[in-house]
Every structure is written in structure tokens, then in C-alpha cells.
Amino acid sequence: MLKIGQKIYVAQSTFFSEEKELKTYVITDVNSVSFYAKPEEINIKPLRFDKRTLKHKANFSILTAYLDESHFYQIQSLEKEKNDLLQYIKANLSDLSVDQLRAIHRSMITEEVN
């Protein structure tokens, strides 16, 4: 539940990059569909975030709010692991036997069904 005065942690992403740092924001207002927050140490007009998505969409960037810093770092860690696995698999794909490729294919089909 969001409340006025609560600290949230915001990351910015653009079409070209994603910020790896969080900035601390403070919630200034909450209503049924959105909340407003501004950077903790800067006196600017609060930005409107969608309550459902926790996002603020600007012209060339998207700000994503996290209620807990650890959630952001957990997501970052999972994304890095996924990218590392994809790079490894792509680099070694041609070395796999037909049986190994079939096993991977079966695994993917099984997950699609579930």
C-alpha cells in the first residue's frame, strides 16, 4: 500500500539505455489510479506514476518505481544471468549434438504446454 511520505526507489530507462542506479523519491500524493512522487533532495514538481504499473512515462524515458531496493537488484541480477546464459548458449550451440538439441527442444515444448 502506497502512502504519502513513503520512500520509493526509481530507475530510469530510455530507448537506448537503462540506468543501473536507483534514485530515492518521496510520495507526495496518492489517489485511486496513480501516485505522485519527487526526488528526495530536489524541489521539483512531483511526477505522476501509474499505481498498477509503477511507471512514469516521459517523452524519451520511462521511470520505474520499486517499493524495495532489493527487488530492483534482484531483477538486475536475473537479467544479467539470462544474458550470460544466452551468450554462452549462442556461442556453443553449434557444438551440441543432435540428441542434445532434441532434448532442449523437448524441454521448450514441455514448458510451452505448461
Average pLDDT of the chain, as a whole number = 92
CA 16 to chain CA centroid, Å, is 15
Give me the half-sphere count of Cα atoms (radius 13 Å) on the Cβ side of residue 6.
Answer: 15
Q: Does 1 reside within a domain?
A: no
Task: Read off the pLDDT band of 113 (50, 70, 90).
Answer: low
Q: Show the domain range for 46.
A: 7-67
Q: What is the pTM of this model?
A: 0.75
Same domain, 63 and 95: no
Domain match, 52 and 79 both: no
Q: Which pLDDT does position 38 carry in this prediction?
A: 97
pLDDT at 21 over 90: no
- How far is C-alpha 39 from the chain's CA centre? 19
Are 25 and 40 in contact by the 8 Å Cβ rule? The answer is yes
Asked if residue 95 is part of any domain, the answer here is yes
Q: Are residues 59 and 13 in the same domain?
A: yes
**Looking at the 3D structure of the chain, how many domains does it have?**
2
What is the sign, positive or negative, of the torsion defined by CA atoms of 8, 62, 39, 34? negative
